[in-house]
Every structure is written in C-alpha cells, then in structure tokens.
C-alpha cells in the first residue's frame, strides 16, 4: 500500500471518457423530465404493491400528510420550497374530500393523490446536472483550493497567485485506483464512503474528477443545500437531494426508485450508506439498507431485462474511507451522540456553522498543515464478493462465480423481496468489514485512543459519563507511561496491517516521540479547546474530554483496548 501511495500521490489521471456528452449522468440529465416521470410512476406502482387495499393506501396518505405538516411546524429549513405549506394544505383538503365520494371514486381519487405526492417528491429529489455549471464549479474548486494551498506553502502574498502546489499535495489518494478506473469502463460504479463531515461531499466530488472519472450522481443531505454556495456546487456536480427528516413511505420509496433507475441506466452513483455523519466518530458499524438495497434491485432488473446472449451490465460496489485529523462539526456531533446514547431516536441533520463557518474551516484547513487521506477499497459485486480486474466475481478461494445465479429460482430470474433483503444485509456487513480493513490510521487517532483508554483504565469504577465529568486536576498523564502505551498500540497496528485488517499512514513509522508529536500537533487542530496537548511539565492533558472521546472512537472495533 505504501508503494501504491507514493505512485498515486502525484499521478495525473487522464479522463476515461473523452467528453461530457459521453457521461451517463449527462444522458440522464438530458432526459430529466422523462426520467422523473418514470421514477414517479414506478414509485406509485411500488407503493400500491405495499399498500394493496384502498384503506391501507388512504391510511398511508393520511399518515404522510400528518408527518409532513408536523415537520413543517417543528423543523423548517431555509432550503424548503416556499409553496410547501400550501401544497400540503391542499393535499389534506383533497384527502378530506375523498371521504365523501363513492367507493369507486375513492379508489380513483386516492390514486390521483398518491401520484401528485410522488411527483412532487421526485422533482424535489432529482439532481439537475448541467455541463456548463459543472465545468465552472470544477474549475472554481480547483482554482481556489490550489491558491489557498500555494499561499500557505510560499508564505508570501504573491504565493496566492502562483500555481506551484496542488490539491494532490494536501489530499492523499491510496488504494485500488487502477481497478476503480478499469471497472468504471466495464460497468456501473456505486461508491460507498464513510461519512464524518459536511466536507465529505465536496471532497468526494473532487476525488472523482482527480481520478479521471465521469461525474457521479450522488445523494447529498438536504441540509447542505441550506448553504447557498454549497447548494450551487452540489447542484452543479450531480447531487440529488436526500431529506433525512422525511420518514414516510411515499418519500422513501421515491428516493429508492430514483437511485435504482439511475443505476440501471448506467449512471455511476455515490451515497453515504451510514445515512448521516458519524456522531460518535466511529467507523460505521451498521448501515442504512434503503439506498443500499437499490444496488441489488438494479442488478436483478438488469439481468431480467438483458436479452439472452447479450452481456449484462454489471454493478460494482466500491467502499471508500475518508481519514481526517480534524472534523469541524465534532463538538456538536459528539454532544448529539452522548445525549442519545443507548436510545434509538432520529436526529435531524442541522448545521450550526452555516455557510460562513464551513468556509472559514476550509480556509483554515487549506492554509495549514493537516492532511486528508482517501482510501479506495477493492471493488465488490452486489453480493459482497471481491471482483478481479476484469470485473469477474470471485468466491473465497478466488474462483470465478456468476452473480446472476443468486437471482435464479427454478432456472429463471425472479423477484424475491425476502431473499434480496438478506442479500442487502450481507452486502452491508461486507462493506463495514472493508471500511475497517482499508481505514488508514493516523498518528492523531493513535494518541487520542491511547490517552482516553489510559484515563478509563485509571478510573475502572466510573462509567463513560462519570469519566467525562472528571475534574481538570485528574486529567494529566505521565508522558513516559503514555509513550509506552502508544508504542504497544502502534506495534499491534503494524500486526493488523500485516493481517490485512487495517492500514496506516506512513507518518506512523519512525521514532515514537516524533509520531506522538505529529499526533498531538494535528488531533482536532482547529478546535478552540484542544482534545489533547502537552503541558509545560511535558505531560499529556486535555481541554475537552468529550472531543477526545470522539477522536478516540476512530480506533474502536480493532480490539486495541487490551493493549493499554
């Protein structure tokens, strides 16, 4: 991986497709109206299958209207359409009027109402990729980021206008880049990254471009569209909107149908299967199965609709981990996590920083020394099997197997919801395993983990919340003890890498004191209260134990606790 890292760092990748008109996302946007119509019609048909009697459908419509009106009262966002209140008020009145008609009319009217709702949802969700806007957004991101980087390295005003340094000096791309580019020519890529920050969407957009890939469609949280400048970039780069506040069946089925049809049409796709940013700081342990299930459905439909003798389009799932020393939203995210620990309650996405806060962070990030690493995992088929460079699925003994066979019943391709639900769970478990395997451990993760675990060990009778309330005078670690612990954990991380269960940055090698210094210098680097630092006595202290817990959590799941 280290050799690959050096080769990837400065390599310039040529586009795998010559022009934007050849991009699947462009073909999708060119027929946007027809595409939205198909999404809406097929969503309505799916909902009718799930709510098969007139009463069930009416009950579902009533629940949808109630939830939407409650959402508007309790959790309005700037990005919400201005006509929203009127639309749902009119829909509610139409539902009331249905109660006064005959049974035959009732069925017809309820179908019309369902169609009206899913059409609105399909239009809300749909991206609007425009080549001219895409080119402008892409060049603006490259220009400003490159200037910020150059000004930070040259340390003179004139450095802002030079072009010596690039994003590739700041963002390290490691892993299976060659395979990803190769498979993007042979089939449809579904990229599934970890999700820690609102910066992730723009970062991944740049990565896709830097690797010479055509633009992907990707599901971005609607909260990002609250920020006007990011809304412009999201729209320009091919994003479709995912509103996590909406939990009703018509919305969820429309969202899934949008993803499924787009993938079937060959549009490379990206979504965050964790559903929302990791509030704990841990790598996701469980994934949301909704959008993930659309990859299974899309592959089955491709097999169903491919004429005999024709090679079917194959879907490749590519796990990606994003590795940061610092997450802007960490204080709010960990507070959310701690407030609901042990409960299963939905948290709406919010952004307390707003446009200016995120922009200030980006300026800080690109003018200081903290790096980002993006790890591209080995591609999987929709069953979670590894695939080779040619896209062939492989079993655990590296023998070629046929994915189509997973959808057969009595020799024919069949639709079996229960079977495909199980396949989705299998795929999600495999992605989680791959996240941990390709995760690139930083020195900042190492020092945060070691420090928090040492404090936990020193107070074995305290639960998590008792530990987090420790007074400042009890939060000091002897450096010699801390150093020994970091060394033991690093040794185990080396073993994990040899076993193919984790990866680590090259800066984790070398003298342990330098590794610790690198970690302390970078962990939570831009927070007002530093999660970990060295005091005047040369010992280790914290200014915010909650934040330290957040950054410590990045190494949860590797059983490193036993080496404290």
Give the start-to-end residue ranges of the domains of the chain. Answer: 2-18+129-216+268-438, 440-563
* pLDDT tens-digit map of 94-107: 999 998 778 788 88
Q: 423 vs 27, which has greater pLDDT?
A: 423
* Inter-residue contact 373 to 503 (CB < 8 Å): no
What is the separation, in whole angstroms, between the first and last Cα of the chain? 27
Q: What pLDDT score does 192 carry?
A: 97
Mean pLDDT, residues 337-362: 58
Q: What is the mean pLDDT of the chain?
A: 87
DSSP-based three-state secondary structure for 12: coil
- Cα separations in angstroms, 467 against 53, 235, 452, 458, 472: 54, 44, 10, 10, 11
pTM of the model: 0.88
Query: Which residues fall within 8 angstroms of residue 29, CB to CB, at 6 or more apart?
Result: 127, 128, 129, 130
525 pLDDT above the threshold of 90: no
> Is 163 a residue whose pLDDT tops 80?
no
CA distance 4 to 176: 9
Q: How confident is the model at residue 8 (pLDDT cuts 50, 70, 90)?
A: low
What does the alpha-carbon distance between residue 247 and residue 270 come to, in Å, rounded to a whole number? 21
Residue 260's alpha-carbon distances to 35, 192, 304, 368, 499, in angstroms, are: 12, 15, 14, 41, 36
pLDDT at 253: 97
Residue range 137-142: mean pLDDT, rounded? 66
DSSP string of 412-437?
EE---HHHHHHHHHHHHHHHHHHHHH
Q: Which residues contact 94 (CB under 8 A, 6 or more apart)?
A: 109, 113
Q: What is the pLDDT of residue 315?
A: 98
Q: What CA–CA distance (Å, rounded) separates 376 from 179?
A: 10
Confidence of residue 145 (pLDDT cuts 50, 70, 90): low
What three-state secondary structure class fits 319?
A: strand
Query: Per-residue pLDDT averaged across 525-539, rounded?
Result: 92
C-alpha 537/C-alpha 470 separation (Å) is 21
* Main-chain dihedrals φ then ψ at residue 211, nearest 5 degrees: -90, 5
State pLDDT tens for residues 254-282: 999 999 999 999 999 999 999 889 999 99
pLDDT at residue 344 in the model: 46
Helix/strand/coil (H, E, C) string of 153-203?
Answer: HHCCHHHHHCCCCCHHHHEEEEECHHHHHHHHHHCEEEEEECCCCCHHHHH
Ranking 7-21, 202-216, 327-341, 440-454 by mean pLDDT, the lowest is: 7-21
**CA–CA gap between residue 33 and residue 52 (Å, rounded):** 28
The pLDDT, as a whole number, for residue 167 is 58
pLDDT digits (tens, 9 = 90+) for 41-95: 999 999 999 999 989 999 999 999 999 999 999 999 988 999 999 999 999 999 9
Contact between residue 324 and residue 524 where contact means Cβ atoms under 8 Å apart: no
Beta bridge partners of 504: 441
What burial letters (b/e) apply to 258-293, b meaning 16+ CB within 10 Å? bbbbbbbbbbbbbbbbbbbbbbbbbbbeebbbbbbb
Q: Which tokens belong to 13?
A: 């990748």
pLDDT per position as a tens digit, 501-524: 999 999 999 999 999 999 999 998
Q: How many CA within 13 A on the CB side of residue 478? A: 4
Average pLDDT of span 148-174: 54
Is 11 a residue whose pLDDT tops 50?
yes
- Is the pLDDT at 27 greater than 80? The verdict is yes
Any bridge partners for residue 129, and if so which? none
């Amino acid at each position: 991986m280290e050799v690959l890292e050096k080769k990837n760092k400065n390599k310039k990748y040529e586009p795998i497709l010559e022009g934007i008109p050849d991009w699947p996302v462009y073909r999708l946007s060119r027929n946007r109206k027809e595409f939205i119509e198909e999404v809406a019609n097929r969503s309505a048909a799916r909902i009718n299958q799930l709510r098969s009697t007139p009463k069930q459908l009416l009950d579902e419509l009533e629940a949808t209207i109630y939830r939407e009106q409650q959402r508007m009262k309790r959790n309005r966002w700037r990005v919400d359409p201005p006509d929203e209140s009127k639309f749902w008020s009119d829909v509610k009145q139409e539902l009331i009027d249905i109660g006064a008609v005959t049974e035959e009319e009732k069925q017809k009217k309820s179908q019309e109402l369902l169609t009206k709702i899913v059409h609105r949802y399909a239009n809300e969700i749909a991206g609007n990729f425009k080549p001219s806007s895409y080119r402008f957004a892409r060049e603006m991101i490259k220009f400003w980021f490159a200037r910020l980087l150059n000004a930070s390295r040259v340390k003179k005003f004139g450095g802002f206008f030079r072009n010596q340094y690039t994003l590739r000096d700041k963002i390290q791309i490691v892993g299976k880049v060659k395979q990803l580019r190769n498979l993007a020519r042979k089939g449809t890529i579904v990229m599934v990254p970890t999700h820690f920050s609102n910066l992730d969407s723009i970062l991944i957009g740049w990565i896709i471009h830097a690797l010479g890939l055509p633009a992907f469609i990707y599901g971005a949280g609607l909260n990002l569209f609250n920020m006007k400048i990011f809304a412009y970039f999201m729209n320009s780069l091919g994003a479709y909107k995912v509103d996590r506040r909406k939990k009703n069946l018509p919305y969820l089925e429309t969202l899934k149908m949008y993803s499924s049809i787009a993938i079937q049409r060959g549009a490379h796709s990206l979504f965050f299967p964790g559903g929302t940013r990791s509030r704990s700081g841990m790598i996701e342990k469980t994934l949301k199965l909704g959008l993930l299930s659309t990859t299974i459905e899309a592959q089955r439909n491709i097999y169903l609709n491919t004429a005999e003798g024709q090679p079917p389009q194959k879907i490749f799932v590519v796990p990606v981990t994003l590795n940061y020393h610092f997450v802007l939203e960490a204080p709010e995210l960990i507070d959310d996590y701690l407030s609901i620990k042990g409960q299963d309650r939905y948290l709406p996405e919010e952004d307390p920083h707003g446009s200016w806060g995120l922009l200030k962070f980006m300026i800080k990030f690109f003018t200081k020394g903290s790096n980002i690493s993006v790890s591209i995992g080995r591609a999987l088929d929709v069953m979670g099997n590894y695939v080779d460079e040619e896209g062939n699925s492989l079993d655990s003994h590296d023998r070629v197997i046929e994915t189509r066979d997973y959808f057969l019943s009595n020799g024919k391709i069949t639709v079996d919801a229960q079977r495909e639900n199980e396949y989705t769970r299998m795929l999600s478990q495999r992605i989680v395993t791959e996240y941990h395997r390709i995760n690139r451990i930083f020195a900042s993760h190492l020092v945060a983990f070691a420090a928090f675990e040492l404090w936990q060990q020193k107070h074995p009778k305290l639960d998590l919340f008792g530990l987090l309330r420790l007074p400042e005078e009890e939060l000091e670690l002897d450096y010699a003890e801390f150093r020994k612990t970091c060394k033991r954990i690093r040794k185990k991380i080396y073993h994990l890498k040899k076993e193919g269960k984790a990866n680590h940055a090259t800066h984790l090698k070398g003298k342990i004191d330098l590794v610790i210094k690198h970690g302390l210098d970078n962990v939570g680097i831009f927070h007002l209260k530093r999660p970990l630092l060295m005091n005047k006595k040369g010992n280790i202290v914290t200014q915010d134990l909650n934040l330290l817990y957040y950054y410590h959590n990045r190494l949860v799941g590797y059983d490193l606790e036993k080496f404290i």
